[in-house]
Structure 1
Amino acid sequence: MKSIGNLKINKILELMLIISVTTMILISGFVWIITVRIIDMHEAKLFISRSVSIPGNTMHIFIFTVISSICFIVTFSVRSSNRLNGTYIIFVTFIIEFILELICIILLNFNYNGILLWTFANALIYLKKNKYISIVIVAATVSYLFTTHDLVKLFINIYDISAYIRVCSTSLQTVIFFIYNALNLMTVVSFILCCISIIVNKEEIIEKNIELNKQLEIANFDLQKANIELERSLMDNARLAEIRERNRIAREIHDTLGHTLTGLAAGIDACIALAGDEKTPLRNQLDLLSKVSRNGIKDIRMSVSSLRPDAPDRLNLESAIKELVENTKRVAGVNIIFNCEDINLKFDEDEEMAIYRIVQESLTNSIRHGNAKNIEVMVKKNFGSIGLIIHDDGIGCEKIESGFGLRHIRERVNMLKGQVNFRSENGFIVEAMIPIRWGEEYG
């Protein structure tokens, strides 16, 4: 589809072509008509004596000019119809037009060469390769300069259109001279308008390209940022998947082998109680079995601890959040109030880690982006779920856009099958509801 600028330029080229072919046809037709009139009036001898040169067969010149004009219209129509996309084919059409133009100019004895300006303007529009543009521009410029009537008549004898105009009556001479000069002037003016339109169109294209480059740079930056976030998200997901798998194996060991050994140890202790205090071989054997089974339980606990290395020493969820709050208050110098109901529940490590990270990310966003001075963290127990509310007195935001931090909070909540909402009211509020999967209390 053509742009508005190209359509405007194309209209100017059409106007230039109409002016040029009209001028050539009028000149050749006028010379033919006047020549016939001179012959009919038996004034040929007088006219020849006054003229420096005379053309050849004026009727043939007129016919050739008309045919050439039709060729110009056809080649221009094909070129502007978007059916020709090959630069080589377009260049060939220029060569054909250029040869016909030179022939027409010579046959008209250089009384009009404005058609070369039309070719010059066409080359600026349709030729894409610089080498072709340079060839056509140089050829058109040199040809235009060296086909000027006043310059050529210094070297060779050529007729002047004014000699034929003077054959007409005085009143008609004025009209013909006016039309002739007006057509020449219109050719030059339309060429200047075409050049101005080309320059303006090129500037618009450059501005659009600059704007497009800016948009591409922004898109590239956003893409790089998204890739970084994706990498971090993948790493978090991989770590959570690893934690889940290790927890599953730990539970399997604890619930199967651990329980079996615990039952076995209890059974042996019962047998020892029945055996009494007398040191018999049976009692000694039972003491040995009890010791081996308890060592086995210790080994099981060590294996579970190796799968969850932080399990024996880690804080429960409430204590971990309290420690996070105290550290943040000390480092950032903000006032943080932590309210927690009696939540003595034990979650899987991935759940506790996600809840902990949600609180941590919310505190970071409040301090870094909200410039908050006071933050309230509330954790409360609901039926089958726990609720998190982090409310700060920061600057908030008119339009909530999910940046890196908020997207990670939402992803963590979604992984736990929960829900999260963000609101900007007297600061910023993060509300999350996370369903409870495990009801085992901390010991």
Structure 2
Amino acid sequence: MEKKKLFMFIRYLIMFFMVFGILIEGKNFDSKIIILMLVFITNNQLREFSLNKNSYQILSFILEVVFVILFNLWTAGYLFTYLILLAIDANVMFKKRLATPFNIIIVLIGVYFSLNYSLNYKIMNLSVSVIVIVVLYFTRYENEKKIEAQDLYDRLRISEEKLKKANRDLEMYASSVEELTLLRERNRISREIHDSVGHSLSTMVIQLGAIEKIIKKSPEKAEILTKNLRKFTQTSLDEVRGAVRAIKPKEFEKYEGIISIEELISNFKKMANIDVRLAFTKEKWSLNSDQSFVIYRIVQEFLSNSARHGKASRVDIIMAFTEQNVVVTLKDNGQGCENIAEGIGMKSMRERVREIGGYFEYKSAPKEGFTVKVELAKKEKLKAYSGGKNNE
């Protein structure tokens, strides 16, 4: 609204200078000039307020060009005032495809009617007109860019809202699916327990009651029932173990060692308030019991030393799995040291790694933290780790 008021004020101001220019030139306002001026102003105002169709506006603008030519032929005045008024209407009312030819027409009019005047007059009319056209042209360009940017922003904002809504819907759907899957799994487990364990226990109770009744009267028969009950109990136990193995995910068995290390790190972060980050390669293979135990103890000892001796605030643990081995690198940002005195904890880590045929090294420097590197070969079968050292 403020821009429209400013635009109207400029238009009326230019019209005032048009009339002022005619008076300066010494022209008398006879009936012909007055009628021409009234028609000119009426046409100009109709184009601004009444004519909304583009074809009417174009016709009105062409008519105003004719009026400008007549004004210059009959009344003279300041040529640049006519040209500025035309330039404003051409660049404000019409789109770029129409504004460009209209601007060319305005410049040609200025060139033609300046031919009979002095050089200074030519420069004044043409320079003022061209500057106004250029300013209006680039103002239009900037305004169009702002509109495009705003439109793009609006579309991006709408897209963002849609994405957020889709994400919320997806989260709700995933949560519902997870809950439904959990309920189904619980229902399946309850059926398994009812059908296998419940049936077995009910049978055992019945047979134990029968044994209790006949054990004094017929010990031989009770012994036979006891043997049968033992076999039945063993069979039921095997069924329960099979059901448990079926319930336990294979992924958990495969990554059980890594999961236990993640749980250790999670608990340590809560207790020590140290940022511990665990990373591993995309391709992984299952750690055997020896490897899982050794890596778990080494991580445990390293975290303890980083908090107690190194005064570290961050620990990075990287597990790199290859086709032949796994390399575990542990590094903290603690104070470090120049001369490392290998204590019980460090010796314990080294011995654990050596017992399963692995490679162990460490290094440190003042203000550079402490680093431990462990390399274990991929072996499917290793002896169960039972001895070892205490983590002290």
TM-score range, shorter chain: 0.3 to 0.5
TM-score, normalized by length of structure 2? 0.47
TM-score, normalized by length of structure 1? 0.43
